[in-house]
Each structure stands twice: as C-alpha cells, then as structure tokens.
Amino acid sequence: MGRALLVHCFHGVGRSAAVALAILADRAGPGREQAALDRLLAIRPQATPNLVVVKLADEVLGRNGALVAAVSAWEIAMPGLQEQRATRRRFLLANPNLYSWL
C-alpha cells in the first residue's frame, strides 16, 4: 500500500464513507470486506456508510453481496445506528437550505 487518498465531502459520514469503504475493499481484495469495514471504522469511527453507495460499490467490485453483508451485519450489531440515520434524515429534511448550493 503506502499510498494515501483523500475522500472528502461536506459531512464525511455517509457517501464519502461509502466511497472510502469501496476503495478500501478494492485494495484489500475479495473476501476481505469485513477487514475493509474495520479499517474504515478505525479511520473514521463516526462513519455510517450510505447503503445505496455500498450496494453500488458491491456490484462494481463484483463482491456478490459480501460488502453489503458486512455493513448490514455491523449495523445490526450497533444499537442506535438506525436512530442516528433517522436523526440525520430529519435534520436534512428540516434544513434543505444547507444543501441548496450543491
């Protein structure tokens, strides 16, 4: 490895976390999806990878659902994660002007 890559977005939690996960999974290789997720969470503990982007990455990388399965299992094991997603969604819906410049 030894190469650095910056993935950045406005919040750095959902979409960019999913893109970073895809890059880590690609670099780790097939069968190492959990290791890629563990690495992502070590780098960015507050990451909650966007599930749509994770599914797309899984398809593009040809992981046959393994990347989605790793994220899904992690979500089930993380109490309160669904509420965090719901809270962010409510905030977004209540503050659409925050993203109007995009």
Residue 2: per-residue pLDDT: 65
Residue 13: per-residue pLDDT: 73
10 Å Cβ neighbour count for 24? 20
Q: How confident is the model over 29-56, as pLDDT tens digits?
A: 999 999 999 999 999 998 999 999 999 9
Q: Residue 18 corresponds to which tokens in the numbers above?
A: 């999913």
Residue 1: per-residue pLDDT: 54
Q: How confident is the model over 49-94, as pLDDT tens digits?
A: 999 999 999 999 999 999 999 999 999 998 888 888 888 889 889 9
Question: Is 26 exposed, middle or buried, given 0-12, 13-18 or 19+ CB atoms closer than 10 A?
Answer: middle
